[in-house]
Amino acid sequence: MTKVTMTVNGKSRTADAEGRTLLVDWLREGLRLTGTHVGCDTSQCGACVVHVNGAPIKACTALAQELDGADVTTIEGMANADGSLGAVQQAFQDYHGLQCGFCTPGMVMSAAALLKDNPKPSEADVRHYLEGNICRCTGYHNIVKAVMAASGQEVAPVAAE
């Protein structure tokens, strides 16, 4: 076991990691930040997306020991300072972009990363960017709307199309 320290959601956090401990397990079991989810074992589903040093990665693809000193943002760090939902989170609620909630943390983290790179994405941009995030509940319809709305673009309100 090795002590690994990262800045997680703005705070310095330390927990043990074996050589084989994945970032997602370090977050979930080491820090008990259970908002980051594990939905597969082949790095396909995207439920574990977090931001490392400002860029989105699947937390099942990185070893915790290799990220000693990294700056990590998880879904638990996405709310505003006053505790209210951040813009992407709020859009997901407003546009019913989630049902069971399991893929949602990864979706929100990917969507936030997209909007950082591409503040006004087209529908096609959103759909292609989210290729690495699987949702089984929503058919993506309202996720796409939520991301477009979070970017400040006009979309039809829910239940009014």
Partner 1 sequence: MPKDTGIGASPKRREDVRFLTGKGRYTDDINVAGQTHVVFLRSDVAHGTIKSIDIAAAEAMDGVVRIFTSKDFEGVGGIPCGWQITSRDGNVMQEPKHPVLAEGKVRHVGDPIAAVVAETESQARDAMEAIVVEIDELPAVIDMKKAVAEGATKVHDELDSNLCYDWGFVEENRDAVEQAMKDAAHVTTLELVNNRLIANPMEPRVAVGDYTSHDGQSTLYTTSQNPHVIRLLMGAFVLNIPEHKLRVVAPDVGGGFGTKIFHYAEEAFCTFAAKALERPVKWTSTRSEAFMSDAHGRDHVTKIELALDADHNFTAVRTETYANMGAYLSTFAPSVPTWLHGTLMAGNYKTPLVYVNVKAVFTTTVPVDAYRGAGRPEATFQLERVIDKAARELGVDPVELRRRNFIREFPYQTPVAVEYDTGDYDATMDKLLTMIDRDGFEARRKDSESRGKLRGLGINCYIEACGIAPSKLVGQLGARAGLYESATVRVNATGGLVVMTGSHSHGQGHETSFPQVVADMIGIPEDQIEIVHGDTANTPMGMGTYGSRSLAVGGSAIFRATEKIIAKAKKIAAHIMEAAEGDIELKDGKFTVAGTDKELAWGDVTLAAYVPHNYPLEDIEPGLEETAFYDPNNFTYPSGAYACEVEVDPETGKVDVLSFAAADDFGNVINPMIVEGQVHGGIAQGIGQALLENCAYDEDGQLLSASYMDYAMPRAHDFPMFQVDHSCATPCTHNPLGVKGCGEAGAIGSPPSVVNAVLDALASAGHDVGHINMPLTPAKVWAAMNNAGGTGSGTAHGRSVDGPAAKI
Contact residues for partner 1 (CB under 8 A)? 18, 20, 28, 33-42, 44-45, 47, 74-76, 78-79, 85, 89, 92-94, 96, 98-105, 108, 123-124, 126-128, 130-131, 133-144, 158-161
Nearer to partner 1, 63 or 134 (CB): 134
Q: What residue spans of the chain are helical by DSSP H?
A: 23-25, 87-94, 104-117, 123-129, 141-150
The separation between CA 141 and the C-alpha centre of its own chain, rounded to angstroms, equals 18
Kindly list the distances between the CA atom of residue 110 and the CA atoms of 5, 7, 16, 58, 117, in Å, as whole numbers in the listed order: 24, 20, 27, 10, 11
In angstroms, give the least distance from the CB of 103 to partner 1.
5
In angstroms, give the least distance from the CB of 86 to partner 1.
9
In angstroms, give the least distance from the CB of 51 to partner 1.
13
Dihedral of the alpha carbons of 50, 24, 41, 106, in degrees to the nearest 10: -30
Nearer to partner 1, 26 or 92 (CB): 92
In angstroms, give the least distance from the CB of 79 to partner 1.
6
The residue written with tokens 């259970």 in the block is: 34
Nearer to partner 1, 54 or 83 (CB): 83
Nearer to partner 1, 70 or 145 (CB): 145
Nearer to partner 1, 56 or 105 (CB): 105
Give the torsion sign (CA, 49, 139, 80, 82): negative
In angstroms, give the least distance from the CB of 68 to partner 1.
20
Pair 48, 104: CB distance under 8 Å = no
